[in-house]
A = this chain, B = another copy of it.
Amino acid sequence: MANKEIPYKIYLTEEEMPRQWYNIRADMKNKPAPLRNPGTHEVMGFEDLRPVFCDELVKQELDNDTPYFDIPEDILNFYKMYRPSPLVRAYELEKKLDTPAHIYYKFEGNNTSGSHKLNSAIAQAFYAKHQGLKGVTTETGAGQWGTALSMACAYLGLDLKVFMVKCSYEQKPFRREVMRTYGASVTPSPSMETEVGKAMNAKFPNSNGSLGTAISEAVEVAVKTPGYRYVLGSVLNQVLLHQSVIGLETKIALDKYGVKPDIIIGCAGGGSNLGGLIAPFMGEKLRGEADYRIIAVEPASCPSLTRGRFAYDFADTGMVCPLAKMYTLGSGFMPSPNHAGGLRYHGMSPILSQLYHDGYMEATSAVQTDVFAAAEDFLRCEGILPAPESSHAIYAAIQEAKKCKETGEAKNILFGLTGTGYFDLYAYKAFNDGTMTDYVPSDEDLEVGFATLPKMD
């Protein structure tokens, strides 16, 4: 229970901000499985990954032992422009639900990119700049990651080439335009600029594109262009390391007020937000110092944790990226076209996959009409227009708060509000108009994806 009055929003001072990232792998008994070469299936080391990622990030990717990494001063200064992010006590939502639960959310949307993605974007861009590189390449789907990275690259004077999934490129002209305004070059994927893109265009002349193909294109350009490397906004160990700043700030803020969360909830696509939010709490759990219920919420239409397989898989469609062992639906899994938000990647962070496999967290899924209904409940009392991705966590938090009402328990529920929905208003319109539909893949649908899993020894 709280020992002093909790304000609506808890902001840390700059002095209280974390100065190190926390590497959860250091406390995991079962480490995430190593990346493997997609052709030979050999474990990949520093030299194997250097052509793709910049050196410092490869080190972070491979380091399963160092518990804390200093955040470089330049990154700290950038963080100070939009962090600390507020930890909000959802008084109005509690009132609306008439629940004895205390609900908190860490709001990562108060920056122009509109999401938590910026936490890793600036880190990855910084290390690239620091290595003397000219630029970086990446892919973006819904556009949060591309926007975040374009902000970071503009700040550091680094070139950026974004491959944007073609249907998003066409349906989200505003996202594209924000990236251009920050000076990034944005190309619809599949493009005619890469071998992967040309092959895809030849095979499927009217392809809408996919994240998997856009990744392949970005990696190809990075590897072939001198002075360039590839950067990725989720899934990787390095990304979870950078995103730990979310959880570290949250824990400092809660500790100030003597609040211990009973339940921690995050939406999960590739796992960047969830992995970041839970990091220090999971660390305590792994070390046996405290216990928390930790819940991943994913779309019922793309259920990698709840219905996927824990296996080595391709990270991309072009099969140029390392293989990762993760909960996956198979790189050939195609999310339903009616799926509105992000969270549509076929796999899940190897770290989170291992933790889930070892029983340290739960997972649940939700259909999108339920998710948008929760978003609307939330925005009408808490004010913030949430991203569809974030709204999965809202949905689950509301479910838990309603259970507390039934049992009369004043549990502390913490969830991650990863971002805002300004660029998702077509989806809100569909929900407002009553034309939004749900999709839950049948077991047969899932088999199509599983059939694309690599055959491993």
Enumerate chain A interface residues (CB-CB to B < 8 A). 7-9, 11, 13-14, 77, 80-82, 88, 91-92, 110-112, 114, 151, 154-155, 173-174, 177-178, 180-183, 376, 379-385, 420, 422-423, 425, 428-429, 432
Contact = CB atoms under 8 A, between A and B. Distances in A.
A140 to B, nearest CB: 16
Contact of A177 (B110, B155, B183, B428): B428
A1 to B, nearest CB: 20
A7 B425 CA distance: 35
A99 to B, nearest CB: 18
A177 B181 CA distance: 24
Copies in the complex: 2
Q: Which 3 residue pairs are nearest across A and B when measured between Cβ atoms?
A: A8-B80, A154-B380, A174-B425
B380 A155 contact: yes
Contact of A14 (B8, B112, B376): B8
Most central of A77, A112, A151, A178 by chain B CB within 10 Å: A112
Contact of A379 (B7, B173, B182): B182
A182 B432 CA distance: 10
30 contacts: A7-B13, A7-B14, A7-B80, A8-B80, A9-B14, A9-B80, A81-B92, A81-B383, A82-B383, A110-B110, A111-B384, A112-B379, A112-B385, A112-B420, A154-B380, A154-B381, A155-B381, A173-B429, A177-B425, A177-B428, A177-B429, A178-B385, A178-B425, A180-B429, A180-B432, A181-B385, A181-B432, A183-B380, A422-B422, A422-B423
Contacts of A178: 385, 425, 428
Given A112-B379, A174-B422, A181-B425, 12 more contacts: A81-B92, A111-B383, A112-B385, A154-B381, A173-B425, A173-B429, A174-B174, A180-B429, A180-B432, A181-B376, A182-B379, A183-B380
A150 to B, nearest CB: 10
Given A177-B425, A177-B429, A422-B422, A380 B8 contact: no
Tell me if A's interface is mostly helix, strand, loop or mixed: helix
Contacts of A14: 7-9
B81 A8 contact: yes
Contacts of A7: 13-14, 80
A116 to B, nearest CB: 14
A420 B147 CA distance: 15
Contacts of A177: 425, 428-429, 432
Given A177-B429, A177-B432, A382 B81 contact: yes
A91 B76 CA distance: 13
A184 to B, nearest CB: 11
A54 B381 CA distance: 24
Contacts of A154: 379-381
A88 B81 CA distance: 8
A18 B112 CA distance: 27
A92 B183 CA distance: 17
A97 to B, nearest CB: 15
A154 B155 CA distance: 38
A4 to B, nearest CB: 12
Contacts of A81: 8-9, 88, 92, 382-383
A80 to B, nearest CB: 4
A155 B92 contact: yes
